[in-house]
């Protein structure tokens, strides 16, 4: 991760940086940058009643990755807020972990777009997510 853009004041492995929902779901960041971020999520604990990975869990993984990447692109004094997200689920994981790989599609001054591909332990695509974030000035504290 030598070329990874990193906000030195943020440790992306902490619950505060990841957010309470991502922490509760067991998300783990492996790589973090504006152009590419990677995280995993366990299937266990994130399933529908019939034992399939919940579609909303895929979306939480995608939105978290896309928002973190957009925030890093935004830079100091700015925040990224989601304005659109969509997902297409093509396979259901039933065990193990899923991995989300987030790549930038567009990194602009006011808008970012990221695509997140979520795969199962066998590398099979389970979900494709696209998120658009708006870059805004951070609110005064």
Q: Which of 8, 44, 63, 115 is catalytic?
A: 63
Respond yes or no: is residue 8 known to be catalytic: no
HEC per residue, the chain = CCCCCCCCCCCCCCHHHHCHHHHHHCCEEEECCCCEEEEEEECCCCECCCCCECHHHHHHHHHHHHHHHHHHHHCCCEEEEEEEEEEEECCCCCCCEEEEEEEEEEECCCEEEEEEEEECCCCCEEEEEEEEEEEEECCCC
Active-site positions read: 63
């Amino acid at each position: 991760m030598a070329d990874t853009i990193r906000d030195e004041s943020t440790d992306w492995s902490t619950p505060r940086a990841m957010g309470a929902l991502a922490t509760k779901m067991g998300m783990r960041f492996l790589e973090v940058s504006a152009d590419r971020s990677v995280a995993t999520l366990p299937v266990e604990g994130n399933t529908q009643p019939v034992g399939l990975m919940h579609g909303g869990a895929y979306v939480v993984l995608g939105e978290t990755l896309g928002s973190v990447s957009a925030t890093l692109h935004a830079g100091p004094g700015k925040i990224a807020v989601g304005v659109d997200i969509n997902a297409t689920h093509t396979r259901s994981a039933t065990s193990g972990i899923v991995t989300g790989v987030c790549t930038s599609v567009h990194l602009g001054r006011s808008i970012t777009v990221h695509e997140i591909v979520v795969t199962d332990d066998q590398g099979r695509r389970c979900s494709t997510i696209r998120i658009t974030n708006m870059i805004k000035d951070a609110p005064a504290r």
